[in-house]
């Protein structure tokens, strides 16, 4: 009689599945069997994942990569973006659209992920949580798979978290409803923005707890400058720099100055010495201008009265210090003098006090961003800028036990010490030192009427470092020729400059200041390369 029990369609379990090995299998064969089972398991997992992915996502239209054609100026949608820096508690409950870089991606689970999105100096925390209204597990997975620094568009609702957010500038969150990647960054960045933005205080705290943090060195920063300048401190630094240049222009325009542009290809040195970049100019020897000195004086001779220029300056000096560059932005001024070169000092006084006031009153957000990574004390300055003679400075140094040659220049160490002494005595970081020895000034500097060993010149200091050199110029061609020869300058190379004073020239003076150095010292940064967008020093020509 046939059995009434149905035949099983299943294969009997293998010995491996029962947890035991057949006694006749060698270790090598057992290993092969185990590998075969592992391959099978992975294939099954992959198949399960494929089935899951194939499932229709009802919220697939809420996320994804933006097609290339959509970012080729295809159409104007009329959508309105909100700046990340303007996200605050007043917008709570509002739906906003923001664009920024995905600075950090922190998955909590398959159903939740945090994104820190950055734009300029501002950052905000965005939250994706799986829900039945708009966010699917696939959307969370998409967000988790984004690479850092990818550019994203996020739509969501502003909310106020229960606890303060430590890692962002904005103290609100965005509950994400839509997420689109506009452009993906490479998966492995040469430097991490979060690492590049760390303060020295963070490293000290990490040392105390034994935590290992990555320190991004200066050369690495400069090699990948396009990433480095994305840090909030760097973004703020160059916005401060923009304001400094703008105030320089506007202040001088309000005082009757005219903006000019002088040539950067010149036939000879404008400052004396050999620190010039030489080149061939259609068969003629030429060089890059060390300053606009010659031509801004010629503009005064041409009847402009008061002129200024913002332009590149080139110095071929082998200076490897924290404050020297081979190319920097010069802010130059030249003006007629009616009676005394203190008229030039008055312009310096008004210009920089107005500049410092503006930065303190209007750039607090940027200053705070710099302060978070590079803490500094606010600059101290007087409403009427302090003026000391060179010999008064020498006397102060001597009383402090530092000997200085009264007919020489101040060393960097002496300048620093004098800045400290001035701060202690006069409570200011900003002052003018005038009447320098003639021997340490350029050939075109006017000697003092009562002592030809000294000159009608001045330097201006911030935090113990020189930022400005200025003086009354020699407008007498015979004396100018004599001084040029004494300084070793080939008069033939500057003949047109000297000749310009033979046709009637008013007494005049001026000054020059490096834009990068002003920003560096105002913000108390320790290296001028931090204030040069793509710095050029004796060893760097790229990027």
* Residues with catalytic function: 315, 317, 323-324, 466, 469, 517
Distance CA 209, CA 205 (A): 7
Identify whether the C-beta of residue 311 lies closer than 8 Å to the C-beta of residue 263.
no
Identify whether the C-beta of residue 255 lies closer than 8 Å to the C-beta of residue 308.
no
Residue 117 φ/ψ, nearest 5 degrees: -110, 135
Q: 151-159 and 95-109: which strand pairing? A: antiparallel
DSSP state of 188: S
Distance CA 34, CA 415 (A): 76
DSSP state of 46: H
Burial 168-182 (b: 16+ CB within 10 A, else e): bbbebbbbbbbbbbe
CB 231: neighbour CB atoms within 10 A? 24
Distance CA 233, CA 152 (A): 22
Distance CA 362, CA 411 (A): 35
Cα distances (Å, whole numbers) of residue 450 to 439, 454, 455, 458, 475: 16, 9, 10, 17, 18
Q: What residue spans of 259-388 are helical by DSSP H?
A: 293-301, 342-362, 364-373
Burial 477-514 (b: 16+ CB within 10 A, else e): beebbebbeebebeeebbeebbebbeeebebbbbbbbb
Site of tokens 């997992």: 45
Identify whether the C-beta of residue 390 lies closer than 8 Å to the C-beta of residue 454.
yes
* DSSP H or E run through 183: strand 173-183
Identify whether the C-beta of residue 337 lies closer than 8 Å to the C-beta of residue 306.
no
CB 383: neighbour CB atoms within 10 A? 7
């Amino acid at each position: 009689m046939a059995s009434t029990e149905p035949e099983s369609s299943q294969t009997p379990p293998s010995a491996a599945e029962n947890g035991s090995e057949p006694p006749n299998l060698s270790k090598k064969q057992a290993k092969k069997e185990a590998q075969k089972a592992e391959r099978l398991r992975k294939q099954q997992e992959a198949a399960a994942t494929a089935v899951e992915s194939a499932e229709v996502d009802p919220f697939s239209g809420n996320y994804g990569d933006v097609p290339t054609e959509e970012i080729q100026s295809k159409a104007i949608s009329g959508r309105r973006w909100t700046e990340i820096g303007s996200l605050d508690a007043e917008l709570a409950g509002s739906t906003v659209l923001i664009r920024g870089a995905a600075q950090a991606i922190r998955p909590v689970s398959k159903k939740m992920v945090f994104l820190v999105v950055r734009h300029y100096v501002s950052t905000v925390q965005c939250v994706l949580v799986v829900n039945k209204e708009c966010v699917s597990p696939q959307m969370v997975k998409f967000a988790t798979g984004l690479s850092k620094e990818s550019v994203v568009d996020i739509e969501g609702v502003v909310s106020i978290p229960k606890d303060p957010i430590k890692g962002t500038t904005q103290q609100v969150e965005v509950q994400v409803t839509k997420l689109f990647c506009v452009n993906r960054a490479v998966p492995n960045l040469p430097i991490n923005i979060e690492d590049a933005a760390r303060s020295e205080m963070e490293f000290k705290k990490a040392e105390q707890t034994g935590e290992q943090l990555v320190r991004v060195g200066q050369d690495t920063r400069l090699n990948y400058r396009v990433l480095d300048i994305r840090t909030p401190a760097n973004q703020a630094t160059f916005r401060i720099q923009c304001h400094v240049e703008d105030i320089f222009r506007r202040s001088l325009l309000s005082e009757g100055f005219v903006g000019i542009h002088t040539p950067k290809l010149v036939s000879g040195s404008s400052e004396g010495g050999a620190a010039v970049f030489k080149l061939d100019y259609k068969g003629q020897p030429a060089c890059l201008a060390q300053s606009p000195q010659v031509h801004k004086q010629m503009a005064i001779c041409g009847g402009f009265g008061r002129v200024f220029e913002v332009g590149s300056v080139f110095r071929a000096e082998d200076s490897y210090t924290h404050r020297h560059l081979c190319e920097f932005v010069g802010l130059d001024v030249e003006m007629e003098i009616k009676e005394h070169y203190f008229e030039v000092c008055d312009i310096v006084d008004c210009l920089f006090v107005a500049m410092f006031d503006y930065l303190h009153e209007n750039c607090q957000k940027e200053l705070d961003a710099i302060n978070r990574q590079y803490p500094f004390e606010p600059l101290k300055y007087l409403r009427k800028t302090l003026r000391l003679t060179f010999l008064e400075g020498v006397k102060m140094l001597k009383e402090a036990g530092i000997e200085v040659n009264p007919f020489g220049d101040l060393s960097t160490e002496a300048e620093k010490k004098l800045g400290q002494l001035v701060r202690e005595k006069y409570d200011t970081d900003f002052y003018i030192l005038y009447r320098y020895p003639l021997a340490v000034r350029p050939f075109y500097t006017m000697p003092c009427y009562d002592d030809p060993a000294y000159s009608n010149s001045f330097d201006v200091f911030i935090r113990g470092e020189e930022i400005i050199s200025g003086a009354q110029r020699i407008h007498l061609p015979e004396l100018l020729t004599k001084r040029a020869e004494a300084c070793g300058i080939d008069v033939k190379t500057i003949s047109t400059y000297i000749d310009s004073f033979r046709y009637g020239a008013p007494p005049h003076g001026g000054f020059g200041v490096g834009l990068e150095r002003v920003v560096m010292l105002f913000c108390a940064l320790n290296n001028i390369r931090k204030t040069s967008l793509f710095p050029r020093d004796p060893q760097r020509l790229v990027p």
